[in-house]
Amino acid sequence: ESTLGRAAAQSGRYFGTAIASGRLNDSTYTTIAAREFTSVTAENEMKIDATQPQQGRFDFTAADRVHNWAVQNGKQVRGHTLAWHSQQPAWMQSLSGSALRQAMINHINGVMAHYKGKIAQWDVVNEAFADGPSGARRDSNLQRTGNDWIEVAFRAARAADPAAKLCYNDYNVENWTWAKTQAMYAMVRDFKQRGVPIDCVGFQAHFNSDSPYNSNFRTTLQNFAALGVDVAITELDIQGASATTYANVTNDCLAVPRCLGITVWGVRDTDSWRPQHSPLLFNGDGSKKPAYTSVLNAL
Ligand code: XIL
């Protein structure tokens, strides 16, 4: 009887989950999480509103709870996330221009200093591209500080913790034919050409009826890897949790040498941000779903 983490390790990869600090006193939850997974992402606790609730006052209480649990249980940590339009504290939402630009840099410096040397991968920038056919950047207060905000974030991050792999992370970028995927590809290619420090691209992989899995996901992973970055599946959940689709996604990662690992976005369906989709690998009672066995067999 193996586990997801042990099976993934056979090919040098991790198998991770999002962890919510509020569930760490639920023993069914922690038993599964400790047993099955080798990487942890804080579901909300390392976000901007949680780590800098007031400008200049950092609070790592909840983030450290998740990080300490991970370390005590022998897991690596993906840091999520430093620069994002969402889950910004009110003080940041009200900033613009050079004040916001400097606040973004200060935030990156403050959080990365706290975790220096203790985070395997950081999602430095999250969800900066628009959905739909435009291929444009998403409009946001950060974007309005200037198109160079993403590379500024990555340069600050490299200086703050040179040991961490620095990732750009987004959703609806799994399908190679989508304009958003092509826009992200053009940005990463440009960063690599100009020496902007980027190490990895995270594909959230929230698959549902609006954004279904497509077998060209493997092509996407291969094409990004060919630019000279690692790739990772960072927030996997699949509406309905088809065992076949879970196996396909797993095989897509395994087919790409630079695919570092897979993270599912929660433990049980009842822990999911979309519980009505029943998108995860464990039932609410902690039992394994068919998708679990399918992933384990694919690994
Ligand atoms: C979600 C969390 O799962 C929820 O608990 C929270 O209310 C909203 O954020 N993309 C991301 C994640 O990068 O941070 C999001 O997590 C899901 C979509």
Span 9-41, pLDDT tens digits: 999 999 999 999 999 999 999 999 999 999 999
pLDDT tens figures, 36-47: 999 999 999 999
- Which residue is closest in CA terms to ligand 1's atom 4? 273
Quote the CA–CA distance of 236 and 143 in Å, as a whole number: 26
pLDDT at position 194 over 80: yes
Average pLDDT over residues 183-189: 99
| 230 alpha carbon – ligand 1 mean position (Å) | 23
- Measured CA to CA in angstroms, residue 127 lies from 72, 81, 207, 251 at distances of 31, 10, 16, 25
pLDDT at position 164 over 90: yes
- Which residue is closest in CA terms to ligand 1's atom 5? 273
End-to-end distance of the chain based on CA atoms, in angstroms?
13
Quote the CA–CA distance of 111 and 70 in Å, as a whole number: 17
- 174 has catalytic annotation: no
Contact 201, 188 (CB under 8 A): yes
| Structure-block tokens of residue 236 | 């996997």
Contact 76, 70 (CB under 8 A): yes
Contact 283, 269 (CB under 8 A): yes
pLDDT tens figures, 233-286: 999 999 999 999 999 999 999 999 999 999 999 999 999 999 999 999 999 999
ipTM over 0.90: yes
| 43 alpha carbon – ligand 1 mean position (Å) | 6
Atom of ligand 1 nearest to the CA of 123: 13
Query: Can you say how many angstroms the Cα of residue 193 is from the centroid of all Cα atoms in its chain?
Result: 24
The β-bridge partners of 233 are 203, 262
| 217 alpha carbon – ligand 1 mean position (Å) | 22
Q: Which residues line ligand 1 (CB under 6 A)?
A: 43-44, 126, 171, 204, 235, 273
Atom of ligand 1 nearest to the CA of 265: 3
Contact 248, 174 (CB under 8 A): no
Residue 1: per-residue pLDDT: 76
pLDDT tens figures, 52-92: 999 999 999 999 999 999 999 999 999 999 999 999 999 99
Mutate-to-test residue for ligand 1 from 17, 43, 86, 121, highest number of ligand atoms within 8 A of CB: 43
